[in-house]
Amino acid sequence: MADANLIDKNSLGTVNAIDFVNQFGYSVKKLQEALGVTRLQPMKQGNQIQTYKFGITKPKDSNNAEVDPATIGEGETIPLTKITREVANTYTVGFSKYRMGTTIEAVQKYGYDLAVEKTQQQMLQDIQKDIRAKFFSYLGTAPNDLGTVGDLQDAYGKVYGKLLSEFDTDTPQIIMFINPVDAGNYLGTAAIQNGQGVAFGLTLLKGFLGGNFDVILNASVPAGTFYATVKDNINLQYIDVNGESSKLFQNKTVTTDETGLIALVQDDTIENLSNESVIYQGINLFAEVENGVLKGTLGSK
């Protein structure tokens, strides 16, 4: 009988699985920090996310024309302006699923640890890319379009003023998303201060434009385009993979990160002499107040 302390294939598989989900959990934490996400909300599959926008209805006179506030006379009753908070969009969080396999030939050539690690790293990057792309695609639907502005410095001023009015705060913690090419073009006349690398395929620049303003670079943002919002407007909701769904795999090796953001199920496939790993997650990044998300096009000053 083999020694109980022998490190066998299954032991290495578990270690790799833990490494994989821990790396994912760490990178999501860094993503939260960069985006200023303060709320991490677990959901059940099928639960819906509702985002909101503010609406304004100005008072009208008997001719159905808007009342000019300057025409209200002394002692006259001031007509009411109505502010509403309306549902803008409804989203359903579902699972995203990924599968990878490691062949016996790959294990023979590279060793089990390296062969599995290489495929898992590639899959991790693919999962992160999908989450980023989905988030930036969402930002591209922002209802507030500032149109064409000047350079990044001009965009900063317009974004600051607009978000200040939207969120009624003296010190909005603004975050802007731009393409690395646009940052490079701007660097011809400006320097980055306190540059900081961020996981999840994003680069965070602090002090890039000054003030309470952070810039995140990613190639998923179309060149010449920018998105912006305040940090605490971004939420992350997810399906807890340690919930009901985990009961489906009671006879399998399932590894999850401590937050329940991602699950990895491993199993041997005897038919083709390989080891398969299936990863699933349900993550959605969104803005709670949709008209607090801005987009615009960079021109030249």
Q: What's the pLDDT at 6?
A: 42
Kind of pairing, strands 40-43 and 234-239?
Answer: parallel
Let me know the angle formed at the C-alpha of 293 by 288 and 295, rounded to the nearest 5 degrees. 160
The neighbouring-strand residues paired with 286 are 235
- Angle (CA) 166-170-163 rounded to 5° is 25
262-293 pLDDT tens trace: 998 888 888 888 888 889 998 988 888 888 89
pLDDT on residue 9: 46
- At a CB cut-off of 8 Å and minimum separation 6, what does 271 contact? none
Compute the distance between CA of residue 138 and CA of residue 134 in angstroms, rounded to an integer.
6
Contact 53, 291 (CB under 8 A): yes
SS (H, E, C) the chain: CCCCCCCCHHHHHHHHHHHHHHHHHHHHHHHHHHHCCCCEEEECCCCEEEEEEEEEECCECCCCCECCHHHCCCCCCCCCCEEEEEEEEEEECCCEEEEEEEEHHHHHHHCHHHHHHHHHHHHHHHHHHHHHHHHHHHHCCCCEEEEEECCHHHHHHHHHHHHHHHHCCCCCCEEEEECHHHHHHHCCCCCCCCEEEECCCEEEEECCCCCCEEEEECCCCCCCEEEEEEHHHEEEEEECCCCHHHHHHCCCEEEECCCCCEEEEEEEEHHHCEEEEEEEECEEEEECEHHHCEEEEECCC
Rounded average pLDDT over 196-213: 74
Region 40-67: what's the mean pLDDT? 79
Only one residue has tokens 């940090």, namely 231
Return the closest-CA partner of residue 285 out of 32, 24, 96, 89. 32
pTM of the predicted structure, to 2 decimals = 0.76
**Which has more confidence, 2 or 235?**
235
Q: What percent of the chain is modeled with pLDDT above 90? A: 13
Domain chopping of the chain, boundaries: 26-47+93-298, 52-88
Least confident of 124-133, 206-215, 224-233: 206-215
Q: What is the pLDDT of residues 144-174, one digit of tens each?
A: 899 999 888 889 889 988 888 888 766 778 8
- At residue 146, the pLDDT reads 93
Q: At a CB cut-off of 8 Å and minimum separation 6, what does 57 contact?
A: 81, 82, 84
